[in-house]
Each structure stands twice: as C-alpha cells, then as structure tokens.
Amino acid sequence: MKKLLLIAAMAAVALGASAGYTLEKVWEISDVSFLPVGDTRQGFGMDGKFYINNKADQVVYIIDENGLTEETLPGGRNCAITRDEAGNIITSDAGFGSTMWVDQSFTVRNPTTGESATYMIPNDTGFQGRCDFFGFAKGDLLEDGELYITAANTDGTIYTDKVLRIKITEGELDTDNTYVATCDGLVNPQSSTVINYYIDMQGEEALIYAYRSGNPAKLVADGDNYTFTSIVLPNLDEVNKKGHANGIFPLIWDGKEMFIYPLMPDYRDGWAIAEAGAAEPLLAVTSTAQANPNAFQANWLNAEVDDTGVTIYQYMPGYCLRVYRLTKDEPSVPHVYMLGGDSNDWNPTQGQEIDYDAENDVYTATITFPDEYNFFGFTTELAENNDDGGWRYIEPFRFGAIANEGTDFLYEGQEYVSLTWDEYHAIGIKGGEYKLTIDLNEMRLYIEDLNPQGIRGDVNMDGFVKIDDVTALIDYLLGGNEEGIDINAADCNKSGDVKIDDVTTLIDFLLGGNWPN
C-alpha cells in the first residue's frame, strides 16, 4: 500500500472533484490481452493488487501496477473468485455455468501463508447454488465466516426469493447452520447474481443482492430469513436508467452509506458513487470504451477504506484494470480580516489578517490600538480595489458587534462581544495592547487586555461592571478603605479623582449601557 500511495502522489491523474471529494486515477493497465476474457470473468483488488482466477488453467493471476507478477495461487474450475473480511481468497471448484451440486465445493486460501481449506456443500439442504460469480464473504472462512450465493435446485432452476447461506465454524463446514434462507418478494435473480456482505451505517449486518439487469436490493436478516429494500441509484444516462451490470459494491465512508456501481450505456466502463435514492451521484467516471468489451456484461468494482481515504479497484474483463484513490477535500477555512483600528482607516482592500488557530478552530491576533478610542470591525473577504464597489463587494462578508441601541458597541471589559452578520456595528475600544479571539462557530469575540489598567467601573475587581461595584464605591467613599478597590476603575467619569459624581456616572452606565466620553 505504501508503494501504491507513493505512485498516487507522484503520477496520479486528477479526474475531478464533486461534493467535497477528489478522485484520482493511481494506475491503469489498458491492455489485458494476457487475461483470456472468457476464462477470467471475475476479479477483485486488495492491498494494491488484483486477483483474477483463470478457469482454463485453474490459476489465480496476481497483477500489480507493473503488470502480471510472477506470483500465482492455485485456482478453481470456475471463474468465480472473491475474498472474505480476513483477506482470504475464495475460488469455486464447480465447473463453470453449473450449479454447486456438480463438484459442490469451494476453496479458501490465505494468500500470504498458503494455508487453505476446501469445503463440500451438503446435499441435504434441498438446494444448491449458482456459482458463476461470488460476492464478498463474512468473517474468516478458514475459521468462522459465511458465504452467500444464489439458491438453485438440482436441475439448475434459480429461485427468485432464496439465498444459500454457507456457514463455516471453527474451520469446518457447519452443516447444521448451512441452509437456504427465504426473502419474500425478492425477484429476478440470474446466474450472474452476486451477493456482497457488509456492515451498514447502523452497524447491522446486511447483504447487497445485485444482478446485472435491474436495481439491486439490500437484504437484512429477519430471524433465519431476510427482508429486502430495493436500492435505486442515479445514472448519468437519461435514457438508460439501470446501469448496474455486475459489480456493485457497498461502501461505508465519510458518514455515508454509498454504493460504487457501473454506469450505462451498453455495459461499458463508466461507474459512479452514490447514496441510495439520490438524484445525482456524489461523483462519476464517464465511459471510455466504445463498446461493451465482454458479452457477459461485467464491470467489477470494489473498495478498501483506510484512515486517509478509499482505494477503488476496477476490473473490466477484456478491457482494463484500474486503481483509483478517493479522498475528502480539506474543508476550506475562511480568512478573517480586521478593518479599522489602525492606520488602514477602514480601507476595504487593506484589512489586517487574523491568524487561524486550527487546533481550537478560532482566529487570534495581538493588536495594539494607538488612540484614546479606536473602532474596528471584521470581514472574510477584501476588495481588489476601492474605486467601484469596493465596499459593496465586501458587504456580504462583513460582520461586527450586536449593539442594543443601534450604535457602535463600546468594549468596557465585557466577558465577550456577541457578533453578527446582519445589522452589525463597529466595536469601540480604548488604546492599549489586546489579544483578540474570534469564534465564528459561536459568533463571539473575546478580548484580553495584555496590559490591564483596570476596567472602568469594575470597582471591586471581579472582572465585571454591575451593581456590586456601586456598593463597593459607596463603601469606599464613606470609609476611605482602599483594600479590595481599584482606584483607577473607580474614577468612572475620568475626572482624575474619585468622588460622589462617580457613583452617579456608574449608575447611569448600568441603567443606560454607555459611558460618557
């Protein structure tokens, strides 16, 4: 996988972005003539490689970005090949096109250790299964797991509402729990039906029951049997709405339950990713093939999820092998600029940018306001020029303080300043050095005085201006005890000394919310 990602970083071809995602083609093999199309009808990708069973010589070919490798594995008499959740490879020993009562066994093999087991399906289920293709299996079929195939009887008749559940327990075929489950109402299975196991968004076990000529279905266990929901997926072709072919694959990623599936027309190599019932795909790759390259209409897709994204594998017999990389775009963080408060004089082209603190998701800056009183506001965009429409351009991006009286907001030591995009006001602050912290999620501005001289009116120094300060100021004037008193803050009318007039000024502020200049 490290090599795969390295290639992606160096040589990936960007296919475009949609819905906040980026899809890149990591590598491609466009000449697959070394895989006889009629004998290698199914394949899947895992750990940067493709595994494809050739029923002609009963060998599993392994292909990486450099082409056919020297590494091979024993294969089966059928094209069917899949894997389980543990990464074991599963092949069918039945002859191609036959039901599983003919050489009714399949082999599971660990591709790293070579450990393998062959399981014989019991006759006493009353049914057998079609094995032209396999879907992804549950668990570890060398230990404990389950494989799902379409049910058929011994003359090859396919049942429209049945799934053969093949259970492995402690490395042995569990005959007591291998049986045919019914799903009432399920219709239209074919010999090429594929049943993929997965865990859905709710953390529940589910199956995707897919065939090439209609909408797939999601199956959920109901006791020993199943209920189903039809899955409708969008197609880019307005005429041909199906576009599922062989190859639909469930994907749980980025908080969504998605499906990777082939697109129409003509069963070519186009594919898409979408949520069930969506009007449009999350993203799509249009077809490059000029015609259907295989008569059995297969376009196999599967995916692996990791911490940074999704690796998508596509095998279209007779046409191509491709690996894609799907990642989520980093959310864009808006710039924030301060207008006013300095020599920029509210120029809409020259605001001072506020640094973004990604860890805390806030914007911070240390600002020195030079004058006795300074006024400032904010914008997330600057204008390129201030001739025609400079202010009109930034107007939708501006924000500032909420002011009850409809005038500028004067900062006098409040816990925070409430911000708004609508009917905003400038923020007034006395000269000094401050740390500004802007939280756009809460729409609040926090101001820290880095050289505090006392908050005007905060006589008792508790950080707030309230009625307690009136009491503290009167007590001081009556008793003359400065303990616990901020004399600078007690000079509410800025006359240079503390007198009874300051009590009146403080009460007027508490009643009206404004200080005299």
| Mean per-residue pLDDT of the chain | 85
339 closest CA partner among 328, 349, 329: 349
C-alpha to C-alpha distances, 411 to 69, 401, 427, nearest whole angstrom: 71, 10, 7
Q: What is the mean pLDDT of residues 409-413?
A: 89
User: How do the domains of the chain map onto residue ranges?
Assistant: 1-39+243-332, 76-231, 333-452, 456-517
| Residue 61, phi-psi category: left (phi > 0), alpha (psi -120 to 50), beta (remainder) | beta
At residue 296 the predicted structure's pLDDT band, cuts being 50, 70 and 90, is: confident
Cα(257)–Cα(251) distance, integer angstroms: 6
Pairwise CA distance, residues 58 & 241, whole Å: 37
pLDDT tens readout for residues 211-265: 776 778 899 999 999 999 988 888 755 444 445 567 789 999 999 999 999 887 6
pLDDT of residue 45: 97
Does pLDDT of 129 surpass 70? no
Q: Which amino acid is at 309?
A: G
Q: What number is the average pLDDT over the span 463-488?
A: 89
Digit-coded pLDDT (tens) for 65-104: 999 999 999 999 888 999 999 999 999 888 776 554 455 7
C-alpha to C-alpha distance for 148 and 193, rounded to whole angstroms: 11
pTM of the model: 0.67
Which H or E run contains 120? strand 116-120
> What pLDDT was estimated at residue 329?
87
Question: Tell me, what's the pLDDT at 517?
Answer: 63
190 pLDDT higher than 70: no
Q: Are 138 and 197 in contact (CB under 8 A)?
A: yes
Average pLDDT over residues 509-513: 83
Coil/strand/helix, residue 478: helix
pLDDT in tens, 143-188: 999 999 887 666 666 777 888 899 999 999 998 898 889 988 886 6
Contact between 118 and 77 (Cβ < 8 Å)? no
pLDDT at 42: 94
Bridge partners (DSSP) of residue 375 are 428
Is the domain spanning 456-517 CATH 3.20.130.10? The answer is no
Calculate what percentage of the chain has a pLDDT beyond 70.
Answer: 86
Query: Where does 333-452 sit in CATH, by number?
Result: 2.60.40.3620
Residue 244 pLDDT:
55
Higher-scoring residue by pLDDT: 371, 88: 88
